[in-house]
Amino acid sequence: MIRFVLKRLGLALITLFLLSVVVFAVSNILPGNVGRSVLGPFATQESVDALNDQLGTNRPLLTQYLDWAGGLLHGDLGMSLQRQVPAWDLLGPAIVRSAKLAVLAFILCIPLSILGGVIAALRYGKPTDKGITVAGISLAAMPDYVSGIILILIFGIWLGWLPVTAQWPEGAGPLTQIKYLLLPAMTLSVVLFGYIARITRAGVIDALDSDYTRTAYLKGLPSSVVIRKHVLRNALPPTIAVVAVQIGYLFGGLVAVEFLFNYQGVGLLILDAARFNDLPLLTAGILLIGTVYLVVTFLADLLYATLNPRIRLGGVE
């Protein structure tokens, strides 16, 4: 198990390193662009050059990369060009906000999705299964803002139960915050349900098909025991691993939803940075999202390893 953990950790770190390289490379597709894009097309070439000098974008790429990477390791994510504040001051709170939304979305959807997936698998081929599967496909396929718009119309405008934008008044308590976050969270849950329900269903079907389920059934165990101790115990850990990975993805995939509800999360921040050509903020944000994903994936692997005796304990003695 230790070996497994170390190996995964090593891989994650390498991937992170490569990500930083890729991000850096992409952001420098058009070197020297920075000065121009900040000052605009009408500024003089001298002022552009001056700014580039000041920002250090004229130096060799390797030096720039090392500088940047070095800064990252010290926690310095660079400076937002547009707002002239350290990137972390903007990204930090934004991540926290996105996290709140993501967590709420998960709390809403996970129990229902897993339950849905399990029921669909148990009723394989029957109308219930078909219904859940179709719902899953459709909901997962729809762009989140489309579901969002429909939900806004139903709950926000026609029924008027929930606020349409996710901007709560200053100093609002947790309950109020949740009320404001409910619509965007529901929007996300709808999409997540699609993925999670289908993956759960596939895992449970595999477990139902297996030889050990047959053994359990033929022992005369009541079906509740068979399902609980034999089927789910083997089907759920891989599902949980996949679900955990979805969390990582969620952080950046929130863009459209945050945009729709005008919620100042990390997705919206990145979008803004993009609009204003604020490359330092943009690259910092992207790297941060990638890191979150890798961390979450690593934790998910860890969780899976703990639940799977084969990995936890090793092989034949």
Partner 1 sequence: MSSELGPALEVVDLELAYRVRGVDRPVLRGVSFSIERGRSYGLVGESGCGKSTAALGIVRYLPRNGRVTGGRISVGGVDVLALGGGALRDYHARTVSMVYQNPGAALNPSMRVGDQVAEAFTVLGASGGDAADRALEALRKVQIADPGSVMGRYPHQLSGGMQQRVVIAMALAKNPDLLILDEPTTGLDATVEAEVLDLVAQLQRELDTAVLFISHNLGVISKMCARVGVLYAGRLVEEGPVQTLLQDPRHPYTVGLLRCIPRGGVRKDHGRLDTIPGFLPPLGMELLGCVFADRCTLADERCHREEPPLAAPAAGHTSRCWYHERAATLPREELADIELPAVDRAVAPLLELTELSKVFKQRGHEVQALTDVTAAIWPGETLGLVGESGSGKTTLARTLLGIVAPTTGTVSLDGTPLPPRYQKRSQAELRALQIVFQNPDSALNRRHSVRRILLRSLRKLAGLTGSAAEQRMQDLASRVRLTERTLTQKPVQLSGGLKQRVAIARAFAGDPKLVVCDEPTSALDVSVQAAILNLLVELQSEKRVAYVFISHDLGVVRYISDRIAVLYLGRLQELGPADVVFDGPHHPYTEALLSAVPTVDGGGRDRIRLEGDVPSAASPPSGCVFHTRCPRKLGAICEDQEPPLIEVENGHLMRCHIPIDELRVLQGKEHEEPVTA
Partner 2 sequence: MSTLAAPPVEARREARAARSERIRLLVRSPLVVFGAIVVAFWIFCALFPGVVCPYNPIFDNNFVPSQPPSWAHPFGTDTNGRDVFSRVLAGSRAILQISVAATLIGTVLGTSLGLLTGYLRGVVDDVASRMIDAILSLPLIITAIFIVTAVGNSGRGVVTLIIGLIFTPVIARTVRAGVLAESELDYVQAARLRGERSHYLMFSEILPNVMSLVVVEFTVRLGYAIFAIATLGFLGFGVAPPSPDWAAQIYQYYTLIDPYWWMTLFPALAIASLVVAVNLVADGIREAYER
Place of tokens 């026609």: 158
Q: Is 212 in the site for partner 1 (CB under 8 A)?
A: yes
CB of 208 to partner 1, least distance (A): 11
User: Element (H or E) spanning 26, and its range?
Assistant: helix 2-27
* 294 scored as a contact of partner 2 (CB under 8 A): yes
Work out the angle at residue 146's Cα, subtended by the Cα atoms of residues 145 and 150, and round it to the nearest 5 degrees: 110
Closest-CA residue to 200 (of 141, 122, 127): 122
- Over the window 33 to 72, marking each residue x when it contacts partner 2 by CB under 8 A and - when it does not, the resulting string is x---x-----------------------------------
Q: CB within 8 A of 63, min separation 6: which ones?
A: none
Q: Is 7 a binder of partner 1 (CB under 8 A)?
A: no
Query: How many residues contact partner 1, by CB under 8 A?
Result: 27
Tell me the Ramachandran region of residue 262: left when phi exceeds 0, alpha when psi lies from -120 to 50, beta otherwise.
left
Q: Single out the residue of 241, 255, 269, 284 in contact with partner 2 (rule: CB under 8 A).
A: 255
Residue 135 or 225: the one with the smaller Cβ distance to partner 1 is 225
What part of residues 107-166 is at the interface with partner 1 (CB under 8 A)?
125
Cα–Cα separations (whole angstroms), residue 17 to 62, 63, 134, 282: 14, 16, 40, 17
Partner that binds at residue 138, options partner 1, partner 2, none, CB closer than 5 to 8 Å by kind: partner 2
Residue 257 near residue 188 (C-beta atoms within 8 A): yes
Query: Is residue 299 close enough to count as binding partner 2 by CB under 8 A?
Result: no
Helix then strand count (H, E) for the chain reads 15, 0
The stretch among 83-91, 283-291, 298-306, 307-315 that binds partner 1 (CB under 8 A) is 307-315
Question: Which listed residue (50, 119, 122, 146) binds partner 2 by CB under 8 A?
Answer: 146
At closest approach, how far in Å is the CB of 220 from partner 1?
3
CA distance 303 to 317: 24
Helix 233-253 to helix 279-307 angle (10° resolution) is 170
Q: Are 240 and 307 in contact (CB under 8 A)?
A: yes
The stretch among 55-63, 87-95, 268-276, 306-314 that binds partner 2 (CB under 8 A) is 268-276
Q: Which residues bind partner 2 (CB under 8 A)?
A: 11, 14-16, 18-19, 21-23, 26-30, 33, 37, 124, 130, 134, 137-138, 140-147, 149-150, 152-153, 157, 164, 205, 208-209, 213-214, 248-249, 251-253, 255-256, 259-260, 267, 270-271, 273-275, 277, 279, 282-283, 286, 289-290, 293-294, 297
